[in-house]
Structure 1
Amino acid sequence: MKSASAPESEVLSPCGGAARRRTPNPMVPRGRTPSPRVHRRHYKFLVQAAPALARASPEEAVMALRSRLYSVFFRRTSTFALTIVLGALVFERAFDQGADAFYERLNHGKLWKHIKHKYETQEE
């Protein structure tokens, strides 16, 4: 946001005052900014972010969740591939057990394990 009376080089902040120029960090190579992932891993970030998420609207909470999921699971190719492989294994296991439970519920009383006590004799 620029003011008509302000010089061209002065940039105003949204609050109306002059914005401070960022001084370059000597630890970061020129042209690059520090990664925000460093701060996400820090414990204090998690403690400070929890109350902010509790006060957030549902749309903001969903956006925060999507951002967190993207940064954790989908940002790098290696974690994306690992997520797909582990997701496929978990889905296969859950689908198999669910299908078996459904089949046994539909055929309760008709399967051999349910009626074998009627036909087997005790051998001594």
Structure 2
Amino acid sequence: MALASTMYSPRCRKGAPGRVRRRRQEKMALASSMYSPRCRKGAPGRVRRRRQEKMALASSMYRLLFRRTSTFALTIVVGAVVFERVFDQGADALFEHLNRGKLWKHIKHKYEQPEE
């Protein structure tokens, strides 16, 4: 109980707003230095527009694909099927490129005899 009474004594409460105010002022100073006129000369409009475009893209994707559970599940299933196809074809193409001239379909013309 002694600890709790010292935490809420008038002395401690009196000092708290100063610390909070100081911390808030430090945050504001840091934020104002990041966005000072020297740092953002000519760029704030472009930067803001890019952020807004990214946010617009993300919000439209959310509205179209992820908002309802049914469309979210469908998006995952379609994405998995497409990823599987692309990954399989890419792996096959890489394998054939690395083993060019060693696979049967590349050398069978040397060993097959023409039919009469």
TM-score band, normalised by shorter chain: 0.5 to 0.7
* Number of residue pairs matched by the alignment: 69
RMSD, aligned CA: 0.9
Structure 1 runs, 4 residues or longer, greater than 6 Å off? none
Greater share of residues in helix: 2
| Corresponding residue of 1:114 | 106
Shift, 1:61, TM fit: 0.1
Higher-Rg member (1/2): 2
Unaligned runs of 5+ in 2: 1-47
Residue identity opposite 1:109 in structure 2: G
| Corresponding residue of 1:32 | none
Give the secondary structure class of the aligned counterpart of 1:67. Answer: helix
| Corresponding residue of 1:104 | 96
Shift, 1:113, TM fit: 0.3
**Counterpart selection for 2:60 from 59, 68, 81:** 68
Query: Whole-Å Cα distance in 2 between the matches of residues 112 and 123 of structure 1?
Result: 19
Identity over the aligned pairs, expressed in percent? 68
Task: Return the TM-score normalized by structure 1.
Answer: 0.55
Query: Whole-Å Cα distance in 1 between the matches of residues 98 and 67 of structure 2?
Result: 44
Give the secondary structure class of the aligned counterpart of 2:101. Answer: coil
Query: Whole-Å Cα distance in 1 between the matches of residues 95 and 73 of structure 2?
Result: 33
Task: Return the TM-score normalized by structure 2.
Answer: 0.58
